[in-house]
Chain A
């Protein structure tokens, strides 16, 4: 599939647009309504003005551009809260522009990027750089996380109060865990002063063998070092105690084990201020995907057992896992074309976020709106982003998609500069036809 991108121009006159013949889906309100040519959505400039069946009954508004949606689904654009853009510092792996193209091809209108760039996002100018670059490129909206500790070293807190004022939405050391309990304790406590959220990569580093995969039969058979599930479970359990102790707010990124889901479920029942997300590989793949040393299946945390995968699906169903994030981690070919132990971890995910998430719907684990909730308004609310909802006056950030249409993931077909998808050759269903940001179509599938 090939698409057409049209980056935003600052001086263009958007006017009014009427989307007709469309099934409107808004998970935040439970809206699911099929509109014929007399209904749909009206946008004016960058905002949603009106939506619903029959809104155009008394005729089309003057001078509105009419977009026939061919009875496809129009929903809020996706909100992806875990993306590595690699710029600045690692432009050979990915750039803000490349991430913007991938995002919009995947229906993502808002993404939140990790601070593990070079330099690390740890001062006001870095926070502003990301926002400014994203605006200039005119594709998906980008909000930055800022580093929680200086140089992501896990020791000294960054100026999180000042960084939050500059626009950092939450604080994390990216793909590194805050290993020192006292540092995380103080961070949670200090962040509570300003009601700020900390995002943890839950993995006890001393239990992680470098270059490994999930401990278990496959690792044993391949002779690879094992990363035990307990590395995640121990860190989650410890951190939950620290949340309880400090009254702070913590979000766990990419939960991958069933036992972590269990302890988070119990913590939520106790009323702790804790949330979590997972990524598509952890509910769609297991450690057998490593197969014959496939480095594209080398992720951090590693792909787990089938039991864990099923438990992640359960966690998504019962709401223990609040959100799904793509965990987009582009790697250049050279850093994956290595012996498994030496290869870098991570997979690209922006372009497969929708289709792989929709497997939960096609497999009848969740309803279409329930799946969309995990990738729209719920993650937006976690980070207090103005996104992920269809509402009058809200930004017209939308995705037009066909949830049924099938396609096959091929690494070479990806828009992304990096091609390292763990879903290579997987048949999936769900195609993004059009991505609309601030009222203008920035991406359109070519045959649409």
Chain B
């Protein structure tokens, strides 16, 4: 039996997280994503790549931008896209999650895009289905396509990731975006710094290959990229910080704190931004510095690349199985 000559450099069935991916795998995902950026700027944005395939967006948690981004990505690749929003109240038990998964599995989807409120829930679901699964965010664990779109944004602006000083600021503790970004950027050789109050830093954060700061002006000094995180009030119970006023005073990004970063430092935010909480409106809307809109654009391209690669891998797996 001859091995398939077209084996892709990303050979996994699922995309559940960035942790553990190699430089080659990440580079390949970014390369493919970059190819789709141009296509998305054409007036005819549609290609036949996933014609006849079924993509189900299974969202156990509210989402507007990520779900829309995946939906557009699927449609531009000509897949049949179904959106399923399951209220979080009806899925409190692992049992129900698996029930949902096996029900959907019986409908023969090709890719399941899953967002779940609980860390690890997407991996559990992936173990129970025959299709490819993309993690669109699970609890405080990972959000791999967000990290890829952030990396693509940086790479297109700066031509590289290696050696850049990148500060990730704010609610690291609850952030899946932070975790995926840390894994990706550290793997790709960037110098990653975390800036947060002690209460919003997970324990052992300094063991992830990053530098930890508790003062914005120290953490942002000479940075190429300032990545702000959304304060996830909905995940907080109790005293992580005293008030929004105090949080903004010490950790909100304004021009004063930004002044210590490199003069051309880029400002990023995964959205939706809490204006006046983690970022000053003036800074968020300064399009000479802020690439927040560009991140959204890159998101669609990244998701098209992921759907394309995973569908292709699944196809090959089936062929190999048949041979």
A157 contacts which of B198, B239, B249 (Cβ < 8 Å)? B239
Counting chain A residues whose Cβ lies within 8 A of the other chain, the interface size class is 10 to 19
Report whether A161 and B249 are in contact in the complex, using a CB–CB cutoff of 8 Å. yes
| Stretch of B114-122, B240-248, B283-291 at the chain-chain interface | B240-248
A265 at the interface (CB under 8 A from B): no
Q: Closest CB-CB distance, B252 to chain A, in whole Å? A: 12
Nearest residue in B to A182 (C-beta to C-beta)? B238
Known: A161-B250, A162-B249. A193 touches B242 (CB 8 A): no
Contacts of B243 in A (CB 8 A): 159
A317 at the interface (CB under 8 A from B): no
Nearest residue in B to A186 (C-beta to C-beta)? B239
A275 at the interface (CB under 8 A from B): no
A161 contacts which of B238, B239, B240, B246 (Cβ < 8 Å)? B246
B214 at the interface (CB under 8 A from A): yes
Q: Closest CB-CB distance, A379 to chain B, in whole Å? A: 26
Q: List 22 A-B contacts (CB under 8 A).
A: A156-B242, A159-B242, A159-B245, A160-B246, A161-B242, A161-B249, A161-B250, A162-B249, A182-B238, A182-B239, A186-B239, A186-B240, A189-B198, A189-B199, A190-B197, A190-B198, A190-B239, A192-B214, A193-B214, A194-B250, A246-B198, A247-B198
User: 6 other contacts beyond A160-B246, A193-B214, with CB at 8 A cut-off?
Assistant: A159-B246, A182-B239, A187-B239, A190-B198, A190-B242, A193-B198
Within 8 A of B (CB), among A186-213: 186-187, 189-190, 192-194
Report whether A160 and B198 are in contact in the complex, using a CB–CB cutoff of 8 Å. no
A158 at the interface (CB under 8 A from B): yes
Interface residues of chain A, those whose CB is within 8 Å of chain B, are 156-162, 182-183, 186-187, 189-190, 192-194, 246-247
1/0 per residue, CB under 8 A from A, across B245-259: the answer is: 110011000000000
Contacts of B214 in A (CB 8 A): 192-194
Known: A161-B250, A162-B246, A162-B249. A190 touches B238 (CB 8 A): no
Give the residue among A161, A183, A194, A246 with the most B Cβ atoms within 10 A: A161
Contacts of B239 in A (CB 8 A): 156-157, 182-183, 186-187, 190
B198 contacts which of A156, A162, A183, A192 (Cβ < 8 Å)? A192
Report whether B245 and A162 are in contact in the complex, using a CB–CB cutoff of 8 Å. yes
Q: How far is the CA of A13 from the CA of B73 in the complex (A)?
A: 79
Nearest residue in A to B197 (C-beta to C-beta)? A193
Report whether A190 and B240 are in contact in the complex, using a CB–CB cutoff of 8 Å. yes
Q: How far is the CA of A162 from the CA of B249 in the complex (A)?
A: 8
Nearest residue in A to B243 (C-beta to C-beta)? A159
Contacts of A187 in B (CB 8 A): 239
Report whether B242 and A157 are in contact in the complex, using a CB–CB cutoff of 8 Å. yes
Contacts of B245 in A (CB 8 A): 159, 162
Q: How far is the CA of A192 from the CA of B198 in the complex (A)?
A: 7
Contacts of B197 in A (CB 8 A): 190, 193
1/0 per residue, CB under 8 A from A, across B204-232: the answer is: 00000000001000000000000000000
Q: How far is the CA of A182 from the CA of B246 in the complex (A)?
A: 20
Q: How far is the CA of A156 from the CA of B197 in the complex (A)?
A: 17
Q: Give 6 closest A-B pairs by Cβ, nearest first.
A: A157-B242, A186-B239, A159-B246, A193-B197, A189-B198, A193-B214
Q: How far is the CA of A315 from the CA of B275 in the complex (A)?
A: 52
Contacts of B250 in A (CB 8 A): 161, 193-194
Nearest residue in B to A149 (C-beta to C-beta)? B239
Report whether A193 and B249 are in contact in the complex, using a CB–CB cutoff of 8 Å. no
Q: Closest CB-CB distance, A239 to chain B, in whole Å? A: 16
Contacts of B241 in A (CB 8 A): 157, 190
Contacts of A158 in B (CB 8 A): 242
Contacts of B198 in A (CB 8 A): 189-190, 192-193, 246-247
Q: How far is the CA of A160 from the CA of B239 in the complex (A)?
A: 12
Q: How far is the CA of A247 from the CA of B214 in the complex (A)?
A: 14
Q: How far is the CA of A187 from the CA of B199 in the complex (A)?
A: 8
Q: Closest CB-CB distance, A123 to chain B, in whole Å? A: 11
Contacts of A157 in B (CB 8 A): 239, 241-242
Within 8 A of A (CB), among B69-114: none
Q: Closest CB-CB distance, A200 to chain B, in whole Å? A: 16
Contacts of A160 in B (CB 8 A): 242, 246
Q: How far is the CA of A183 from the CA of B249 in the complex (A)?
A: 22
Contacts of B249 in A (CB 8 A): 161-162
Q: Closest CB-CB distance, A289 to chain B, in whole Å? A: 40
Report whether B238 and A186 are in contact in the complex, using a CB–CB cutoff of 8 Å. yes
Q: How far is the CA of A296 from the CA of B190 in the complex (A)?
A: 66
Within 8 A of A (CB), among B35-73: none
Q: How far is the CA of A193 from the CA of B201 in the complex (A)?
A: 10
Q: How far is the CA of A194 from the CA of B242 in the complex (A)?
A: 13
Q: How far is the CA of A156 from the CA of B199 in the complex (A)?
A: 14
Known: A157-B239, A157-B241, A193-B214. A186 touches B246 (CB 8 A): no
Q: How far is the CA of A157 from the CA of B245 in the complex (A)?
A: 13
Q: How far is the CA of A317 from the CA of B301 in the complex (A)?
A: 71
Q: Closest CB-CB distance, B217 to chain A, in whole Å? A: 13
Q: Closest CB-CB distance, B147 to chain A, in whole Å? A: 26
Q: Closest CB-CB distance, B246 to chain A, in whole Å? A: 4
Q: How far is the CA of A158 from the CA of B240 in the complex (A)?
A: 11
Q: How far is the CA of A161 from the CA of B241 in the complex (A)?
A: 10
Give the residue among A183, A193, A246 with the most B Cβ atoms within 10 A: A193
Q: Closest CB-CB distance, B99 to chain A, in whole Å? A: 35
Q: Closest CB-CB distance, A312 to chain B, in whole Å? A: 33
Q: How far is the CA of A182 from the CA of B243 in the complex (A)?
A: 18
Contacts of B242 in A (CB 8 A): 156-161, 190
Nearest residue in B to A246 (C-beta to C-beta)? B198
Q: How far is the CA of A339 from the CA of B143 in the complex (A)?
A: 65
Contacts of B238 in A (CB 8 A): 182-183, 186
Nearest residue in A to B240 (C-beta to C-beta)? A186
Q: How far is the CA of A232 from the CA of B214 in the complex (A)?
A: 33
Nearest residue in B to A160 (C-beta to C-beta)? B242
Q: How far is the CA of A160 from the CA of B245 in the complex (A)?
A: 11
Q: How far is the CA of A158 from the CA of B242 in the complex (A)?
A: 5
Q: How far is the CA of A247 from the CA of B245 in the complex (A)?
A: 25
Q: Closest CB-CB distance, B204 to chain A, in whole Å? A: 13
Q: Closest CB-CB distance, A145 to chain B, in whole Å? A: 16
Q: Closest CB-CB distance, B167 to chain A, in whole Å? A: 16
Q: How far is the CA of A247 from the CA of B249 in the complex (A)?
A: 24
Give the residue among B197, B198, B199, B242 with the most A Cβ atoms within 10 A: B242
Report whether B199 and A193 are in contact in the complex, using a CB–CB cutoff of 8 Å. yes
Q: How far is the CA of A392 from the CA of B214 in the complex (A)?
A: 35
Contacts of A190 in B (CB 8 A): 197-199, 239-242
